[in-house]
Chains A and B, each alone.
Chain A
Amino acid sequence: MSTATIETTTTHAHEDHGHDHHHDLPWYRKYVFSTDHKVIAKQFLLSSLFFLFIGGAFALFIRWQLAYPGKPIPVIGSILPDSWVTEAGSGIITPEFYTQLLTMHGSIMIFFVIIPFAAGMFGNFCIPLMIGTDDMALPRLNMWSFWLVPPAGLIMMAGFFTDTGYAAAGWTSYPPLSAQTGLAKFTISGQTLWTISIFMVGFSSIMGAVNYVTTVLNKRAKGMKLFDMPLTVWALFITAILVTLGTPVLAAGLAMLFMDNFLHTSFFLPDNLVTSSKYFGGGQPILFQHVFWFYSHPAVYIMILPLMGVVSDVMATFSRKPIYGYKAMVFAIAGIAFLGFIVWGHHMFQSGMNPLLGTTFMLSTIVIAVPSSIKVFNWLGTLWRGNIKFSSAMLNALAFVSMFIIGGLSGVFMASAPVDIYIHDTYFIVAHIHYVLFGGSLFGIFAGIYYWYPKMFGKMLNERWGRLHFTLTFITFNVTFFPMHVLGLGGHMRRIYDPNVYDFLKGLSDVNEVITIGAIALGFAQLILVFNVLYTLKKGKRAPRNPWRANTLEWAAPEHPGHGNFDSDITVYRGPYEYGVEGRKADFWPQWEPGASKTVNHRTVVVEDESRTFGAH
């Protein structure tokens, strides 16, 4: 072990300390076009929160229509314009606007909320701090990766002002519907703008991802081996590889779709369609689905793997225990990522692709259940014989694990191709995606926000409001999304404007109403989080350097680190999860404190403990 001395004992504020030359930067380089990874992370946080509320509001419109079809939307309905938005003068949204809302809800939540939160915010904030370096390898590229998002968002939202309104072909935008064969050449429609916008956020993802890979491989602190990295960094690293391999394929698909839509080529359009425009034909609609899902299935993992890492870190810290099976967790993440590339066809069992492929994709998909269950069992193993503190972050992490179990189990149903025949394109799928993406990813994001907020803003979030926010969210989430399984079993198709058209769905209107009430409560519960974030930002308690008594490197940085992050050189001496080591006074042993240990029967035993009293409080 090296004997490098490390100054880690200071517990006083260091905000003004650090790299003075950065203070020469003009304000717009510090707060707007900043290359500091922490500022970029905060920008991702703000933009994602903003879009979270827009996407959530759209969801409430959808829910209102499903529970009370033909009734005007309260308050807001009266100010919506007539024409294609509402039935003239009634405040009831039109079927056309309904499909636009569901398209925008899906697109915003996936491309502007979950992916920027998961990869953008956590990737930017956690990677440099957790591997003990001053910034990303390519800070300027990093800045660009954020600054493509706001214009992309504006472009997508501008669809509202085109003649036909927002894009309306679902977030999957399958052609020929998304090619809009009825419009003349060179018509800029909401769908055209959607394609451009997603193309741009795709580039934002790629720029972020190549940066993460480079940074993780080249900029780790002295002594940090790959298997000394926290699971958050591992997960983000593997996710970044997914992004670099998958997103260019989506970009290709979107480019072709754009040409079909705007220039009337026919990559995805067969001959002799009954449509007012003239196409040459010869294209294949199913091709788009292959290209789209080749990216968008890995994208599902892009949206959840980083949070699996975050949740692992939060659980280890608040269970005061090492992660059970650290290497198994890493291999499980890698396994899920690899399998993610060979399962895309399970979205297409009923699409008309050759049923022979259905067999292949079903078997590969079912295999994914194995690494997923490895992860769940290891999380349970982490809780075993821990000393569990129910902080807001931990509660959200536990919600992640439990909701991921439900979402994972409902995934087995649709992985089985014959069962999928019936439940495909019903609310069962909607229930599943929300259990994984809201119950999973979003609870993971909340856990991460509660956990890293002190390092991000130098203030502590209010724990009582945090627990209130968690409790309300957890209850209303389940009230909203669990009954959707029931709708799905009843055969309720997704994306329909009015279920009452069908006799076989008439018994389900009560279920729809319960869901809507739950959804409205769920939406309002999120205001507590926003209030908590904004209020504590101004008036919150100052955060100490290591409030959770955690081991990973970000807690070696000052309370509110400036540009350059660390006020001392960092050397790594051990893995990230040495909690409760026998022979040490403190129940944690940070990665940066010198000392030697050995492993006896899967337990760590102190050989030499050179660390000075490390006081967090």
Chain B
Amino acid sequence: MDRILSYFDMLPWFPENTSTFGGELDSLFAIIYWISVGIFFLTFGIMGYFLVKYRYDRNRRGYNYHGNNVVELTWTVLPTILFAFIGLYSDDIWERTKYSSRLPKADVQVLVMGKQFGWQFLYPGADGQYGRNAYTHRDECRKLITALNPFGIDSTDPNSMDDFTTENQFKVPVNANIVMHGSSQDVLHSFFLPHARVKQDVVPGTWMNIWYNIFKTGKFELACAELCGGGHYSMRAEYEVLSKSAYDAWVDKKVAEAIAARSPQPAVAPQADTATVASLTK
């Protein structure tokens, strides 16, 4: 039986799951999938049987029967119960993964800004506090947004001294609640981490909550899932999930670089880290 079922099992096509809620989403998919396989065989079985059994025979007539309300009621109520179950169960998971009120306490915060065609990230640095920028002070700092200062950072704010940016790559610690706030500087993009089962459109002018907690270290990919122009396909970034100590070391290094770059001339916007991304293939 297991072997027969395995022929219909499409689930192994999923990329490996790496996030805490990803397992839940996958098992919900599996529940709906196996219910669907059941309904598929039920309906196709009935249909195939009828098509063979009641195929044309010149000596027979179709049965004049207009239907029966008890039968209609049965096949109205049964699917209602089944689908209500799917709906309520789904909603429970939906509330836990997406509701703003269920946003977990952040261990690490990052701002992400999509652009045609790439991803930019802003880390709050060692103090864990952003300086004034378009996320913390939308009204004042949005007008500072330019192609070179996508986050609208106000560099006169001392808190922004240790804020640092990266482009097309980011790093996060393992087993920590990462809370990102995402936006876009031009058109719609969608922040898609296939392995972590994360997807959230980012919309210019608004900040979206994105959170996840990854339990596996390694290098993974970030893709854009919303058509954003000709270069949509190439809007790829890489991220690395590091152990806590390796992550802290990386942050310290980036903070030092950011401060060094800004010290002589504090009024200039921070330089983005534009290192090109090497392919993951070894």
Contacts and interface: CB of A to CB of B under 8 A. Distances in A.
Given A359-B94, A424-B225, A603-B66, A580 B61 contact: yes
Interface string B37-58: 0011001101100110011110
Interface in B81-123: 83-84, 86-87, 90-91, 93-95, 97-100, 115
A422 B29 contact: yes
Interface in B147-186: 147, 150, 152, 185-186
Interface stretch (A26-34, A45-53, A402-410): A402-410
Contacts of A390: 55-56
A31 to B, nearest CB: 39
B79 A417 contact: no
B225 A493 contact: yes
B264 interface: no
Contacts of B186: 176, 181, 273-275
B66 A322 contact: yes
B75 A373 contact: yes
Instruction: Give the interface size bracket for A toward B.
Output: 35 or more
Interface stretch (A248-256, A375-383, A472-480): A375-383
A484 to B, nearest CB: 12
Contacts of B188: 174, 176-177, 285
A133 to B, nearest CB: 26
Contacts of B221: 502-504
B216 interface: no
Contacts of A578: 64
Contacts of B236: 501-502
Contacts of A582: 64
A500 to B, nearest CB: 9
A110 B38 CA distance: 32
Interface stretch (B138-146, B244-252, B253-261): B138-146
A463 B60 CA distance: 23
A489 B13 contact: yes
A99 interface: yes
Given A169-B227, A177-B187, A321-B62, A489 B67 contact: no
A498 interface: yes
B242 interface: no
Nearest to B195: A504
B97 to A, nearest CB: 6
Given A328-B67, A421-B199, A587-B62, A355 B205 contact: no
B54 A271 contact: no
B61 A587 contact: yes
Contacts of B83: 366-367, 369-370, 412
B223 A493 contact: yes
Contact of A602 (B68, B229, B230): B68
Interface in A441-457: none
Contacts of B145: 272, 274
Interface in B177-221: 185-188, 190, 192, 194-195, 197-206, 208, 220-221
Contact of B150 (A274, A354, A417): A274
Contacts of A422: 25, 29, 194, 197, 199
A579 B66 contact: no
Given A418-B94, A587-B62, A385 B54 contact: yes
B98 A417 contact: yes
A578 to B, nearest CB: 7
B15 A504 contact: yes
B7 interface: no
Nearest to A321: B62
A322 B54 contact: no
B281 interface: yes
B54 A319 contact: yes
A363 B87 contact: yes
A272 to B, nearest CB: 5
Interface in B1-31: 10-11, 13-15, 24-25, 28-29
A359 B91 contact: yes
B66 A386 contact: no
A94 B192 CA distance: 24
A273 B281 CA distance: 36
Nearest to A376: B43
Given A374-B72, A409-B40, A419 B65 contact: no
B66 A324 contact: yes
A425 B226 contact: yes
Contacts of B87: 362-363, 366-367, 416
A274 B146 CA distance: 6
B63 A419 contact: no
Contact of A95 (B43, B46, B205, B230): B230
Contact of A385 (B29, B62, B200): B62
Given A369-B83, A413-B32, A490-B14, A418 B62 contact: no
B9 to A, nearest CB: 11
A139 interface: no
A385 B60 CA distance: 10
Contacts of B66: 322-326, 577, 599, 602-604
Contact of B227 (A354, A405, A495, A502): A495
Interface string B118-137: 00000000000000000000
A485 interface: yes
Nearest to B38: A409
Contact of B190 (A320, A350, A504): A350
B97 A421 contact: yes
A398 B62 contact: no
B98 A358 contact: yes
28 contacts: A95-B230, A95-B232, A176-B187, A176-B188, A177-B227, A275-B186, A319-B62, A321-B64, A322-B64, A352-B208, A359-B91, A359-B95, A362-B94, A366-B83, A374-B75, A374-B76, A384-B54, A385-B54, A398-B51, A409-B39, A418-B28, A421-B98, A486-B13, A490-B14, A504-B194, A578-B64, A580-B61, A580-B63
Given A99-B227, A401-B47, A496-B232, 18 more contacts: A99-B229, A270-B206, A284-B205, A326-B66, A362-B90, A373-B79, A383-B54, A388-B50, A388-B54, A405-B43, A416-B87, A421-B197, A421-B198, A491-B192, A494-B227, A503-B221, A580-B64, A582-B64
Interface of B: 10-11, 13-15, 24-25, 28-29, 32-33, 36, 39-40, 43-44, 46-47, 50-51, 54-57, 60-68, 71-72, 75-76, 79-80, 83-84, 86-87, 90-91, 93-95, 97-100, 115, 142-143, 145-147, 150, 152, 185-188, 190, 192, 194-195, 197-206, 208, 220-221, 223-234, 236, 279-281
Closest 4 CB pairs of A and B: A270-B205, A320-B62, A325-B67, A385-B63
Interface of A: 94-96, 98-99, 168-170, 174-177, 181, 269-275, 281, 284-286, 319-326, 328, 350-352, 354-356, 358-359, 362-363, 366-367, 369-370, 373-374, 376-378, 380-381, 383-390, 398, 401-402, 405-406, 409-410, 412-413, 416-419, 421-426, 485-486, 489-491, 493-499, 501-504, 577-582, 587, 599, 602-604
